[in-house]
Structure 1
Amino acid sequence: MAAFASRASSQAMLAVVSGRRRMGKTYLLRALAEQTQGLYFGATAATAAESLRQLGAAVADYLGAPAPFTFATWDDAVTFLFGLADPTRGDGPQVVVLDEFPYLAKVVPELPSLIQREIDRHQTQPSRMRLLLCGSAMSVMGNLLAGSAPLRGRAQLELVVRPFDFTAAARFWEVADRPDLAARLGAVLGGTPAYRRQFLADDVPRDLADFGDWVCRAVLSPRSPLFREARYLLAEETDIRETSLYHSVLAAVAEGNTTRGGIAGYIGRKAVDISHPLNVLEDSHLLTREADIFRQGKSRYRIAEPLITFYEAIMRPAWGRLELGQADRVWAASAERFAAQVAGPHFEAMCREYLLGDGSHLAHGSLGEVGAGVVTDTHTRTSVEVDAAVVERGSGGRRPRIALLGEAKWGTTMGLPHLDRLLRARDTLAARGNDTDNCTLACFGAAGFTDHLKARAHQDDTVRLVSLADLYAR
């Protein structure tokens, strides 16, 4: 954003910044406006007329005027904002930030068209304008530049502010030196910056022994700001109206029903009837659809926000007891569910993320596609689910290359049977004509490895063992 705001150009420029709530967008944009002496305006849920008055007050405060500015229409307001960037009024770029833009677009539907008109006009007339539109309603922000939208093709920057990755999150929570604790903390809260200081006032679990007590006081307690946060995340999306249906879809995924048919069967609907909620959850960045890396046309869904997974798997089924203050009892009865439905899938996602970054050396530096999938042997009618894989698609007569096959286990000590599964998958893929000559077989074990598997890895350099500490090592 800083590079955009300071870019030398005699034309008006537009940036669209989005990201789910609690990611720190407002913090970053306020800091940018302060550093560049720009105008920051944060919209609220208000009528068009009230929002116009609020903007007038913000402009007056910015310019040091003794009384609020009065704009007759939003057309006048947009024209005035672009007038601030007239080259005759000063040197250097003029930064203007309109935060929570979806609130404005909802009550002033013509606003994107008004901005488009001024952007286009100031492509031929000189302007110092650097306009940043920001919002948390992902579906609204995503549509600003899509299809036939007025602002399509006008933006010089489209930035999505994402959560911290698992290693950055561990450093942020200051638990990077305790991988067992960092992984569990990440499985509950992910990489959302606001949860540590804004929500929990720096209440961080002291060690692994304190983790259970921390969950009970920080997340499962009705007095905690995080207690209803997962519900709020869903309710804040403007395209979500029948929240019960969307919670049911998310619960289905949390229970392990990750295919479209599995989700439909779980909630008692036809697969065609859940297309809309699935699309809305994807557009809202609450649900991610991941293609099967081995089977074309097949895909699985994964909840993108760890806190929602935790809510659907642990909190929602016991909501009545939690409201009565029985957090200790609920947590004590949730150990298996937490391992299978929360920590396990989160660990698998961590392993794939690791392969995209620091762990790329396991696949000999391959830039192939990283994902997961199912390898099916049609002759024996058996299948192997591969948790992490790196595949280079063939082209120009070159065979597809399988650079890595990986198995990830959260609560199970990995042994030779897990390696045998990977060997079967490798042999099946080789029989299909894939290049598996230099395929790494990676065992990701959060609970460690048996002596037999360690001995095998010592003898065979194609077998690699990756511990939880390895994932967090920098």
Structure 2
Amino acid sequence: MAVPSSDIPLPDKPQKVFDRDAEWQELVAFACDSRPEARLGVVSGRLRQGKTYLLEALTGALGGFYFGAQQGTQTESLSHLANELARYTNAPSPPHWHGWEDATDDLLALGDRRPTPIVLDEFPDLVRQSPSLPSILHSAYRHHDGGRPGQARLLLTGSSLPLMHRLFSTASPLHELSDLHLTLHPFDYRQAARFWGIDDPVLALLVHAVVGGTPVYRHDFVQDDAPTGREDFDAWVCRTVLNPGKPLYREAYHLLQEEIDHKDRALCHSALAAVATGCSTQGQVADCLGAPLTDTARCLGLLREHGLLHSEPDAFRPGLIRLRVTEPLLAFEHAVVRPHRSALAQQDSVAVWKHARPDFDSMVARSHFAQICRDWALHFTDPDTFGARPGSAAHGSVADPAHPGGKDMAAEVVVRGHGGVRDGSLLSVGLARWDEVMDLTHLERLRILRDILADRGEDTTRTRSACYSGVGFSPALRTAEAQGQVVLVDMDRLYGRR
């Protein structure tokens, strides 16, 4: 962590920047660091997470320099950078550089008199044009014994997660130079509800199941159009994500187009569709695609590398890796919209959505609710809820000995303490039902599941049963809660309303 000087006032976060309090504090501490050497910081995150917005706010608050790279040639990029630098310094004409060595020297010289944030946004685009740029930066910082003098605070940002990882991994020469490694994530589901101005937890979850916590979608992609209530949700879907006149309509395809090479794109679309519609393992995806396991594994690895797919071990069978789509808009597109694309070109969106809505309810909303329940268990509970602080929350499944060869018994929210998938103590086993009023039959199912786990060697003596419902619980289950037999989590509790 950078140590800011006591005589440099740290600017307050601008009111226009929603949330991001911790990220802002990290950035201003780095930018106002008083040490008399040039420093380097790294900011990464998937597309559309507001990196540019936040960094422009930072340079504006501190009088820093911002440059947004674009795809092009080295000559063009250096020319654009020289023009921007001339405007920033009020120079009569742009500097004439022979290459990135000259440009780097002039950029770092901006910090000769005071701590100055200097942002090169979408740094990977510059590296693709100029592969030697990381080495040039490393040499510039290491040119003097003890580090380069000055107070330049260079921030390199990027959305290409694989390239950012390679550029700043522990094996990279730039890693040893960087004082700050900051990743911007999407807003969590509670932040997203506040960001969209939605007070109704059910409506907030429905909207989150479509657009997730990506901040750019709220303003630029739907022009501030938010549903006014649950009764407006269907119409909102039709006038935004199903409306060809809105950028959100094609955003899911653009995400893959910008992230994945053309030769892999078709298979990646099919793989995302398979996962979004219920294929949760690599083998199931391969069967669904009719593709060789090696091709499927390569495709899934590519999606994971770009942060579009998440994998984690099953809570009861660590050797079984489960998959889920990380970006809700991609899951919504591939599970709900993609099968109806041709109809959307010929029919009114209202009629198409009427046919697609059952798929949304059964596949997207149901699985999204389960994931939000896991997020709540991991990030928003206090230690008293399950008797200890959770270390993980995952889906778990075991074979049902009463029905050999039949369907596995599953628990959507398995909470363990710290210590790994099987090493962590089993704190809770829970069922998540988006559209069911839960009753004592669900509690009995959890009892049977806990008995099976005990027979398999799990310590369930302190394991708490939990029921998560989007529509509520029977009076008998509420009585069981009062008797300490079960933890009940409804929508109000998920969203911190009680």
- Same fold? TM cut 0.5: yes
Give the Cα separation in 2 of the matches to 1:80 and 1:287. 40
- Secondary structure at the counterpart of residue 320 of structure 1: helix
1:408 is matched with which residue? 432
Deviation of 1:129 after TM superposition, in Å, equals 2.1
Equivalent residues of 1:222, 1:325 under 8 A apart = no
2:169 is matched with which residue? 146
- Secondary structure at the counterpart of residue 330 of structure 1: helix
Structure 1 137/393 Cα, relative in aligned 2: closer, same or farther at 3 Å?
A: closer
Structure 1 322/451 Cα, relative in aligned 2: closer, same or farther at 3 Å?
A: same
- Secondary structure at the counterpart of residue 47 of structure 2: coil
Give the Cα separation in 1 of the matches to 2:183 and 2:108. 25
- Is 1:128 paired with 2:154? no
1:448 is matched with which residue? 472
Deviation of 1:154 after TM superposition, in Å, equals 2.4
Give the Cα separation in 2 of the matches to 1:275 and 1:456. 45
- Is 1:228 paired with 2:253? no
Matches within 5 A, 1:228-307: 228-237=250-259, 239=261, 241-307=263-329
2:494 is matched with which residue? 471
CA deviations 1:137-186 (Å, max 9, x no partner) are: 222212211264332332211111111100110011111x2111111011
Give the Cα separation in 2 of the matches to 1:377 and 1:318. 37
Give the Cα separation in 1 of the matches to 2:424 and 2:154. 45
1:431 is matched with which residue? 455
Amino acid at match of 1:150: P
- Is 1:41 paired with 2:67? yes
Structure 1 456/124 Cα, relative in aligned 2: closer, same or farther at 3 Å?
A: closer
- Secondary structure at the counterpart of residue 441 of structure 1: strand
Structure 1 segments unaligned to the other structure (5+ residues): none
Structure 1 309/121 Cα, relative in aligned 2: closer, same or farther at 3 Å?
A: same
Give the Cα separation in 2 of the matches to 1:238 and 1:401. 39
Give the Cα separation in 1 of the matches to 2:301 and 2:169. 15
- Secondary structure at the counterpart of residue 224 of structure 1: coil
Deviation of 1:450 after TM superposition, in Å, equals 2.5
Structure 1 278/120 Cα, relative in aligned 2: closer, same or farther at 3 Å?
A: farther
| 2:388 aligns with one of 344, 351, 365 | 365
Higher mean C-alpha deviation, range 322-331 or range 311-320: 322-331
Give the Cα separation in 1 of the matches to 2:148 and 2:109. 12
Equivalent residues of 2:43, 2:184 under 8 A apart = yes
Deviation of 1:84 after TM superposition, in Å, equals 2.8
Amino acid at match of 2:426: I
1:374 is matched with which residue? 397
Matches within 5 A, 1:276-355: 276-355=298-377
Equivalent residues of 1:139, 1:239 under 8 A apart = no
- Is 1:80 paired with 2:106? yes
Alignment RMSD (CA, Å): 2.0
- Secondary structure at the counterpart of residue 168 of structure 2: coil
Aligned residue pair count: 466
2:15 is matched with which residue? none
Equivalent residues of 2:110, 2:116 under 8 A apart = yes
Deviation of 1:325 after TM superposition, in Å, equals 4.4
Structure 1 217/124 Cα, relative in aligned 2: closer, same or farther at 3 Å?
A: closer
- Is 1:3 paired with 2:29? yes
TM-score by length of 1: 0.93
Deviation of 1:393 after TM superposition, in Å, equals 6.0
Amino acid at match of 1:443: C
Give the Cα separation in 2 of the matches to 1:425 and 1:165. 30
2:22 is matched with which residue? none
Give the Cα separation in 2 of the matches to 1:46 and 1:420. 62
CA deviations 1:373-416 (Å, max 9, x no partner) are: 21335686463211111123679xx9852111111011122222
- Is 1:219 paired with 2:245? no
Equivalent residues of 2:453, 2:460 under 8 A apart = yes
* Identical-residue share of aligned pairs (%): 40
Equivalent residues of 2:412, 2:432 under 8 A apart = yes
Amino acid at match of 2:380: D
Equivalent residues of 2:39, 2:179 under 8 A apart = yes
Matches within 5 A, 1:51-130: 51-86=77-112, 90-91=113-114, 93-121=115-143, 123-130=146-153
1:165 is matched with which residue? 188
Give the Cα separation in 2 of the matches to 1:401 and 1:323. 52
Amino acid at match of 2:337: M
CA deviations 1:44-93 (Å, max 9, x no partner) are: 1111110010010111111111222221112221122223333xxx13x2
Amino acid at match of 1:444: Y
Amino acid at match of 2:237: V
Give the Cα separation in 2 of the matches to 1:10 and 1:147. 25
Give the Cα separation in 2 of the matches to 1:202 and 1:57. 34
Structure 2 segments unaligned to the other structure (5+ residues): 1-26
Equivalent residues of 1:363, 1:404 under 8 A apart = yes
- Secondary structure at the counterpart of residue 120 of structure 2: strand
Amino acid at match of 1:436: T
Amino acid at match of 1:9: R
Deviation of 1:339 after TM superposition, in Å, equals 1.2
Give the Cα separation in 2 of the matches to 1:331 and 1:209. 14
Equivalent residues of 2:414, 2:428 under 8 A apart = yes
2:5 is matched with which residue? none
